[in-house]
């Protein structure tokens, strides 16, 4: 059974009509299938989809990113990679089923794959905790990322979470610390890291795995510090002002690419990724291949500096950075007093004069 969003009513009606036309055993009894009428209706659906999805507002984009039928991380892992070996446990507390992680082959080369999995049925969603990771999930990914770094294996992460799990148990086990350690680990790696936001990229739960050399988004995915509902509730005490909040947060892929928070947008089929899974699979495969090849001839230090410089340039044109194009070194803006002191002590003559002054002062003080 197909699921439709509230702005897809016209499409739903047309597709129901097509299903009836395709069924020779309709209410009028056995009849000939009207292929011409089916073709016309399908063309009308395509036009409607083009019209709607080319003019989505940020809140509608959020609804598409959360669509029940949207391809999840497990779908991409099963179809893009070979010989996937899932690995479990953080070696401290236990296993977190909201994140899939393990080593696999991509184009005959080893990679570490990490995927935040929401589940595709009620039972699997409950089991996966709706993609909301607990501390043990982040600690598991840290363990595996360090292992991949040791053996020089690239890391590919699929981001799809409303946020980190806010439960009491998770907080007691150090949720904030686990997220911070995950970000620190991601930033310290010497291997290429790709993060692909396939649905929701929510809050610290997403950035914990998306501190990567390349942050890539599917066209109708979202990436934000908080959900539109949460933002509207905090700012205006009104969770219904979701459209206003979504616009203000600039959470769509187009806005984030313009702000240079992300590096690339992977185009989706008209109507969303769920309408043509083969096409979105092919687009994601091409993107991964292209971005991995970009880092093929880079050394570990170059990869590390690429990632560091990428995040240092976000939102900066002036400030602590002297040259935006080359951020391998940083220099703080210093006051004139600090510069004078620094330059003064560089000269041996100045040091000799200072020493002489101190000796004379001491002589006069003790001779009184």
Which tokens hold the place of 225? Answer: 């510090």
Q: Note the pLDDT of residue 317.
A: 60
Which tokens hold the place of 72? Answer: 């999840």
Q: Note the pLDDT of residue 319.
A: 47
For residues 76 and 194, membership in a common domain is answered with: yes
Q: Round the average pLDDT of the chain to a whole number and report it.
A: 87
For residues 88 and 196, membership in a common domain is answered with: yes
For residues 22 and 85, membership in a common domain is answered with: no
Looking at the 3D structure of the chain, how many domains does it have?
3
With respect to residue 130, please indicate whether it lies within any of the assigned structural domains: yes
Residue 342, domain extent: 336-367
With respect to residue 327, please indicate whether it lies within any of the assigned structural domains: no
Strands 264-266 and 222-224: unpaired
For residues 255 and 220, membership in a common domain is answered with: yes
Say if residue 278 is exposed, middle or buried (CB neighbours under 10 Å; 0-12, 13-18, 19+). Answer: exposed
The whole model's pTM is what? 0.82
pLDDT over 60 (residue 329): no
Q: Note the pLDDT of residue 73.
A: 95
Phi, psi of 71 (to 5 degrees): -60, 135
For residues 136 and 248, membership in a common domain is answered with: yes
Q: Note the pLDDT of residue 30.
A: 42
């Amino acid at each position: 059974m197909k699921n439709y969003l509230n702005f897809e009513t016209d499409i739903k009606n047309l597709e129901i009509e097509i299903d009836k036309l395709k069924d020779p055993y309709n209410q009028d009894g056995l009849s000939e299938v009207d292929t011409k009428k089916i073709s016309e209706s399908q063309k009308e659906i395509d036009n409607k989809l083009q019209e709607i999805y080319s003019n989505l507002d940020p809140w509608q984009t959020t609804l598409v990113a959360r669509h029940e039928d949207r391809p999840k991380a497990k779908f991409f892992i099963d179809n893009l990679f070979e010989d996937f070996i899932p690995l479990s446990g953080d070696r401290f507390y236990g296993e977190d089923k909201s994140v899939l992680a393990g080593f696999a082959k991509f184009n005959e080369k080893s990679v570490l794959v990490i995927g935040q999995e929401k589940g595709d049925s009620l039972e699997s969603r409950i089991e996966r905790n709706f993609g909301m990771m607990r501390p043990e999930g982040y600690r598991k990914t840290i363990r595996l990322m360090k292992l991949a770094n040791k053996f020089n294996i690239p890391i590919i992460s699929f981001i799809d979470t409303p946020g980190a799990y806010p439960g009491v148990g998770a907080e007691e086990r150090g949720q904030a610390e686990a997220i911070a350690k995950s970000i620190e680990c991601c930033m310290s790696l010497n291997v290429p890291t790709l993060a692909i936001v396939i649905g929701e990229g929510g809050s610290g739960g997403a950035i914990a795995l998306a501190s990567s050399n390349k942050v890539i988004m599917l066209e109708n995915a979202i990436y934000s510090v908080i959900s539109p509902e949460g933002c509207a509730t905090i700012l205006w005490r009104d969770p219904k002002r979701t459209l206003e909040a979504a616009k203000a947060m600039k959470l769509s892929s187009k806005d984030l690419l313009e702000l240079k928070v992300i590096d690339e947008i992977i185009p989706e089929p008209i109507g969303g990724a769920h309408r043509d899974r083969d096409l979105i699979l092919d687009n994601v495969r091409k993107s991964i291949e292209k971005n991995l090849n970009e880092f093929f001839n880079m050394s570990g230090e170059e990869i590390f500096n690429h990632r560091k410089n990428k995040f240092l340039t976000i939102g900066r044109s002036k400030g602590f950075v002297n040259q935006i194009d080359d951020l391998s070194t940083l220099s703080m803006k210093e006051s004139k007093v600090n510069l004078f002191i620094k330059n003064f002590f560089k000269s041996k003559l100045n040091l000799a004069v200072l020493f002489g002054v101190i000796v004379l002062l001491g002589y006069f003080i003790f001779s009184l």
